[in-house]
Amino acid sequence: MGLFSKLKNLVSNKKEEQTLEVYDSGLEKTRKSFVSKLNVLGHTFTTVNEEYYEELENLLIMADIGVNTVVKFMDRLRKRVKDEHITNTSSLNEIIIDELFIIYVNNAYLSDKINFAEEGPTVLLFVGVNGVGKTTTIGKLAQKFKNEGKKVMLIAGDTFRAGATEQLKEWADKTQSIFYGKEEADPASVVFDGLKKAQEENVDIVLIDTAGRLQNKVNLMNELDKINRVIAKFIPEAPHETLLVIDATTGQNGISQAIAFKEITNITGIVLTKLDGTAKGGIVLAIKEEVNIPVKYIGLGEGVDDLETFDIEKYIYGLFKDLL
């Protein structure tokens, strides 16, 4: 089944209706900016020529899809146009959608699902610079897991930032999760004591906050190494996920953060916050291309339930709905 048919099936699937609406409204800014310009481009150029390619390339870069991704995409598009003898721009929308999807998937199996532990607590470690919505993301995920009937615990490993422990405690109270934290203590020792408590209380999922100081990468790397060693002592396979939280509205700066954090610790997934607040939703494709780490969750609103498990087909639908 082709991608177009799959997306149309999604639309007609009643079970998917609610999530599709979230993707639809959450990606509205990007869609209005990107697709409207794509439509104008199709009306301005009726035949495929070099000028059309240049305009399309600029349009994709403006959507923050990333220069490297765009270059690769344009090469693939030119080849398909040549191989399939396409001359009319009206035939290209479906191919553009198809090729952007292929670039994300890239014949590789990148799971957007969380790696849950078969037994004992699942440990999720969160990293990211300050101000990207890391603590809020942890709170929203705690709510999500609580709604699924899980026993959740939050550990405040960001011990020196003013108010960080208190902020996480508020989220624990709000989501009726167990909490462990101690201000101005060694982060690894806080994680150690927190995990001890998690095991005593038979917790299903542990969410651990960490400091976001990227200015001194060596210090942060040492801190995260120590935290990882402590976690592995308690639970050999843990952390089961290390999730990097990025603010989608920062665009290419978010990609720089992903590259920097990938150098200092093993990132297994990305959470993109505030995707609904930007017209540059193409960052999802750029991040995958630049760092080859799957996006696992996306923030599509400010409400406690507005954190969605990422789905590439629903994302493509939200981006291109008006062309289907």
Give CA–CA dist 161/183, Å, rounded.
Answer: 9
pLDDT number for residue 95: 87
pLDDT number for residue 102: 83
Residue 11 has pLDDT above 70, yes or no: no
Residue 324 has pLDDT above 80, yes or no: no
Give CA–CA dist 169/163, Å, rounded.
Answer: 10
Q: What is the pLDDT of residues 214-224, one digit of tens each?
A: 777 888 899 99
Give CA–CA dist 304/315, Å, rounded.
Answer: 20
pLDDT number for residue 63: 81
Whose tokens are 């899809």? That residue is: 65
Which pLDDT band, with edges at 50, 70 and 90, does 98 fall under? confident
Domains of the chain: 14-105 (1.20.120.140), 122-311 (3.40.50.300)
Is the preceding peptide bond at 239 cis, omega within 30 degrees of 0? yes
pLDDT number for residue 78: 94
Give CA–CA dist 128/36, Å, rounded.
Answer: 33
Structure-model confidence comparison of residues 286 and 142, the more confident one: 142
* Packing angle, helices 134-147 and 164-174, rounded to 10: 20
pLDDT number for residue 99: 85
pLDDT number for residue 6: 63
Residues 18-38 have a mean pLDDT of 83
Q: Whole-model pTM? A: 0.89
Mean pLDDT of the chain: 87
Structure tokens at 213: 């100081």
